[in-house]
Structure 1
Amino acid sequence: MSMNGEYLRLTTEELARALENPEWAWEFADEAQEREDEEEPAPTEARCFSTFQAWNLLDFLLRRASFPVDVVHGEEPIPNADDWGYGPPQYLTADRVHLAADRLHELTYDALIRGVDHTELATAGVYPRIWDSPTSLEWARDTLASLTEFFRAAASADHAVLVWLD
C-alpha cells in the first residue's frame, strides 16, 4: 500500500456544501475519482489530480523553497471530517489557489532541486525511500509540471481545492 497525494477542484457552492457535510464531500470525491480514472482527462480539464507517491518529495522541496501555500497538505481543515486515508482532508480557498497557481507557474523544477543532494532526502526520511542516486531527484519533475497545470486551471475557474493523503 502506498501513500498518495490527492486533489479535487471545488466550486464555491461545492466547497460550502463540503464544509457543511463532509460525508457528501467524501462521496463526491470518490465519484469524481472513479469517473476520471476511466476518462483520464488532462490536468487542465480534470477535477481530480494525484501526485501519487511524489507528494512528500514535493512537500520537502516546496518547504525548502519557502513556498507561500501548502499545496501538498492544504491549509484549512474540513470541520468534522473523518479520516480519508492518512488524516482528514483540508482545503485551499480560491484566493490561495490563485496565489499557488501564480507561484507554481513562476517556479521551475530546476530551481527547486538546485543545491539539494539526494542524501539529504534519505536523511530526512522523505517518502518513498528511493534516494540512492543523484538522478532520483528527477522523479517528480513531470508531477510538478502537471500539478502546476491543474492549479492554473483551478485558478482560472475560481475553484477551491480539497487536498488529502490516501
Structure 2
Amino acid sequence: MSMIGNYARLTPAELERVVHDPDWGRKFIGELAETEPDERSGASPARCFDTDKAWHALDFLLRRQAFPVDVVFGEEEIPGADGWGQGPPCYLTPGRVRAAAEAFAAMPAAALVSGVTPDDLVQADIYPDIIWVGDESLDYVTNYYQALVPFFQAAAHDGHAMVVWIG
C-alpha cells in the first residue's frame, strides 16, 4: 500500500465544520475530490491535490530550508478524526496558508534541492527509498513542489484553510 500526501482547500466555515464533525469532513472532502473539474477546462482552481509519494521528500527538503509552515503534515490536529490514513489529518488556518504561499513565492524549486543528491534521500531513509535512484529522481520531487506552490497560492488568494493528511 502506498502512502500519498493529500490536501484539501476549505473555506473557514467548512474547516470549522470539519473540526467539529470529522466524519462529515471526510465525506465532504471525498465528494470534493470526486467532483473536481478537469484542470484543462479552465475552470476554477482545484480544491484537492496530492503529492503522490513525494510527500516525505518534500518534508525532508522543506525542513532543510527551515520552511516556516509544516505544509506536509499540517500544524493543528483534527480531534477525533480516525481512519483518514497514516495518522490523523491536520489543518492549516487561512493565515498559515497565506504564510506558506508567501514562503513558497520566495523559494524556487531549484533552491529546494540545492546541494542535495538522491543518495542524501536514501541515507535519510526517505519514503519510498526505492525511487531515489538516478539524477531524475529529484525531478519527481520538484515537479510536485512546482504544482504545490500554485495550489497554496490559489488557496491563500481565496482565504482558504487547508486540511492535510497522509493516506
Scaled to the shorter chain, the TM-score interval is over 0.9
Structure 2, unaligned runs of 5 or more? none
Q: Contact 1:7–1:163 (CA<8 Å) still a contact in 2?
A: yes
Give the aligned partner of residue 60 of structure 1.
60
Deviation at 1:106, TM superposition (A): 1.3
Q: Which amino acid aligns with 1:155?
A: A
Q: Contact 1:101–1:151 (CA<8 Å) still a contact in 2?
A: yes
Q: Which amino acid aligns with 1:99?
A: A
Aligned pair in 2 of structure 1 residues 126, 157: CA closer, same or farther (>3 Å)? same
Structure 1, unaligned runs of 5 or more? none
Partner SS state of residue 17, structure 1: helix
| Alpha-carbon separation, structure 2, partners of 1:77 and 1:85 | 13
| Alpha-carbon separation, structure 2, partners of 1:44 and 1:163 | 20
Which runs of at least 4 in structure 1 moved beyond 6 Å after TM superposition? none
Give the aligned partner of residue 84 of structure 2.
84
Deviation at 1:157, TM superposition (A): 0.5
Question: Residues 1-166 of structure 1: matches in 2 within 5 Å?
Answer: 1-36=1-36, 39-41=37-39, 45-129=45-129, 130-166=131-167
Aligned length, in residue pairs = 164
Deviation at 1:117, TM superposition (A): 2.0
Q: Give CA-to-partner distance per residue, 1:49-70, whole Å, 9 cap, x none.
A: 1111111111110011110000
TM-score by length of 2: 0.93
Q: Contact 1:44–1:152 (CA<8 Å) still a contact in 2?
A: no
Q: Contact 1:122–1:131 (CA<8 Å) still a contact in 2?
A: yes
Identity %: 48
